[in-house]
Amino acid sequence: MPRLALRFSTQTLLLQLGVVVLVVLLSGSVHAWLVYGRIGMEAENQALTLARTVASDPAMRSQVEAISKEQGTPPATVLSAGPIQAAAEAARNRTGALFVVVTDETGLRLAHPDLVRLGERVSTDPSDALSGKEVTTRNTGTLGASAGAKVPVFAPGSTTTVVGEVSVGYSMESLGQSLAEDIVPIALTAAGSLLVGVLASFLLRRRLQRLTLGLEPEEISTLVHDQVAVLQGVDDGVIGISADGRITVFNAAARRLLGMPEGPETPGSPTAAGTAAAGGTDWSDADLAGTDWERASVPAQLKALTQPSAHDAEAVEIVAGGRVLVANARKALHRKEDLGWVVMLRDRTELQQLTRQLDAVGTMSAALRAQRHEFANQLHTIAGFMSIGQHGQAKDYLARISATGPLKFPVQQAELLQDPYLQAFVGAKSVEADERGVALRIGPETLVREHVTEPQDVTTVLGNLIDNAVNAAVAGSSTERWVELELLDEPGPDGGALHIVVADSGDGLGGVGPERVFVEGFTTAEPADGGMARAGGQGLGLALVRQLARRRGGDVRVLDPGSPGGPGAVFMATMPKVTGAPGDAQSAEHSAGAERPAAEAKEGQQ
């Protein structure tokens, strides 16, 4: 059977327990060794004190000197009954020492606990003490291991003449007993430390499992690689918000879709200043990872998606960075644990552009269908003239048809628009408006002499304003339904500006503030406060065209809010650098683009 690998958290726990046990054992051993050394040193000092006391006794000094002057050493029986043996034993019994030994100047014992050993030479070297030095020792003699001291015995009245030495020792067994008494608190302390260490290791293991969601390091590494690959490889924006309200993920696609710079800006920088001048969001805190979600500089609609009252997976449309985005949020759960929110952003700008193109094609198809009926009627008229022999009248009729062209848009003064793209676009809009009973006319102040070099941006703004005006005229209370359009180009060294003014016969904005109509999500499709009604409103058109115009350095604003009963509101748009002379290189690109369907007619309606 294959050996089961331990989980990382278990390995970590065992390693921590091993470290704790090792540290406790080492610290306990070192502490015991230090205590043992301290007890031994205390025993040596105590032995040294006792040896000094015995060696400095005048009677002891006199008696040792007397024996040292004699020839030879008295027999053991004499020594055992002598005063030196009695004094040494009295000191030993009084202090609990293992031995108190007195020798003469040659190292022969004059006093010893074992009477048999009297008169013999000591088992340990007495030379240091007999040379006049005091020493402490730890050695093993005839009575066993001991910690003691050796002190010279000087002749009475002399500090240099050594006549013997006193050796005192305390048993190492007694030192071990003292250590055993002191080791109990040491062992209790070590056991307590070990218990605390084990408990801390288990708590750390639980926290590690909670932080890693029970995943192994290899799994975490794989997840990180997969996350980086996915977040950087998808075109959708992904924003991750943790359960405590912190941004954890903010991929490059989300920055791009929200119109945020790639790197952090500082307030007052050229990019930030340009953004503020254009009326957009100041993304000065673009580096949002780790910041509080509620304080992040993202659209308020995104924050609303993550509120507790929000419905999971509910999608909303927002306008940001000149794009129409679809955003939705989902709760992130792992084994019933709340991990926070994941906000997804998808770009619908291209889809809306395709929708505008299809609307433009539909408008042109309707116009061509109407013109087909008109052309059939003209053929019937010519056939009638020919059948009755009125060849001259038939010829004049054909000449008039040739002068007016095969298509006749219901818009007046179209010749003031010298740009063929604008003529086709406004003509298509006039057919659409005419089908809804609204007359689209061009104002007398209109004059466009240059060609449009940015047809997509121009038709986005112009189409939105015309669509809103037609809707307002249809919903208005005036019996005459009209929309008046004035366009004026202003030449410039880097490209001319185009000024657009659109008025209608509707009932105006009513009680709605001029700036409120540009707020994302605001729509007047179903007015509740007397505002103008616009069919199919989405709350994105005006906000989008204003951002688009401001991004180019222009603007879209309300010149006149209008009044109930008409005339309605008047909107003005200024778009710099969108026109050029017919001979410019940009006009060639425009001419190629003009071959596409009449225009991208319809922006998402307000």
Are 496 and 540 a contacting pair, CB within 8 Å? no
pTM of the entire predicted model: 0.46
Cα–Cα distance measured from residue 568 to residue 378, given in angstroms and rounded to the nearest whole number? 38
Output DSSP code: residue 70: S
Q: Which two tokens mark 188? A: 């209790």
**Residue predicted with more confidence, 182 or 485:** 485
Neighbours of 263 (CB within 10 A): 9
10: confidence class by pLDDT, cuts 50, 70, 90? confident
| Non-local CB neighbours of 316 within 8 Å, separated by 6+ positions | 301, 304, 305, 326, 327, 328, 521
Of the candidates 542, 98, 566, 58, the one whose C-alpha atom is nearest the C-alpha of residue 279 is 542
166: confidence class by pLDDT, cuts 50, 70, 90? very high
Q: Which two tokens mark 154? A: 């000087």
Residue 51 has pLDDT above 60, yes or no: yes
pLDDT at 284: 36
264: confidence class by pLDDT, cuts 50, 70, 90? very low
Lowest mean pLDDT among 116-125, 221-230, 272-281: 272-281
Cα–Cα distance measured from residue 499 to residue 549, given in angstroms and rounded to the nearest whole number? 11
261: confidence class by pLDDT, cuts 50, 70, 90? low
pLDDT at 182: 67
**Residue predicted with more confidence, 146 or 149:** 149
Cα–Cα distance measured from residue 602 to residue 462, given in angstroms and rounded to the nearest whole number? 9
Summary mean pLDDT of the chain: 76
Q: How are beta strands 439-442 and 451-452 bridged, if at all? A: unpaired
Output DSSP code: residue 268: T
Q: Catalogue the long-range contacts made by 102-107 (C-beta closer than 8 Å, 24 or more residues apart).
A: 102/54, 102/60, 102/64, 102/153, 102/164, 102/165, 102/166, 102/167, 103/164, 103/165, 103/167, 104/64, 104/67, 104/68, 104/73, 104/163, 104/164, 105/68, 105/130, 105/162, 105/163, 105/164, 107/165
Q: Which two tokens mark 400? A: 């008039």
**Residue predicted with more confidence, 5 or 208:** 208
Expressed in percent and rounded to 5, the helix, strand and coil fractions of the chain are: 45, 20, 35
Cα–Cα distance measured from residue 318 to residue 130, given in angstroms and rounded to the nearest whole number? 105
Residue 250 host element (H or E):
strand 247-250
Q: At what angle do helices 8-55 and 83-95 cross, to 10 degrees?
A: 150
Of the candidates 64, 76, 75, 87, the one whose C-alpha atom is nearest the C-alpha of residue 168 is 87
Cα–Cα distance measured from residue 556 to residue 547, given in angstroms and rounded to the nearest whole number? 9
Q: Which segment, 51-65, 196-210, 392-406, 505-519, is predicted with the most confidence on average?
A: 51-65
**Residue predicted with more confidence, 279 or 133:** 133
| Non-local CB neighbours of 313 within 8 Å, separated by 6+ positions | 328, 329, 330
pLDDT at 488: 92
Residue 167 has pLDDT above 80, yes or no: yes
Q: Which two tokens mark 445? A: 């102040």
Counting residues of the chain whose pLDDT is more than 90, the rounded percentage is 7
Are 102 and 78 a contacting pair, CB within 8 Å? no
Mean pLDDT of 169-198: 74
Mean pLDDT of 306-312: 69
Strand order in the sheet with 144-154: 109-111, 99-104, 162-171, 144-154, 135-141
What distances in angstroms separate CA 187 from CA 25, 36, 154, 191, 412, one per listed residue?
10, 14, 47, 6, 106
Cα–Cα distance measured from residue 295 to residue 291, given in angstroms and rounded to the nearest whole number? 8
Please name the residue that has the structure tokens 């449009």. 452
- CA 349, 352, 354, 357 dihedral sign is negative
Q: Which two tokens mark 355? A: 């929708």
Mean pLDDT of 300-313: 73
370: confidence class by pLDDT, cuts 50, 70, 90? low
Mean pLDDT of 43-71: 87
Please name the residue that has the structure tokens 């080791």. 183
Helix, strand, or coil here: 71? coil
Mean pLDDT of 7-29: 77
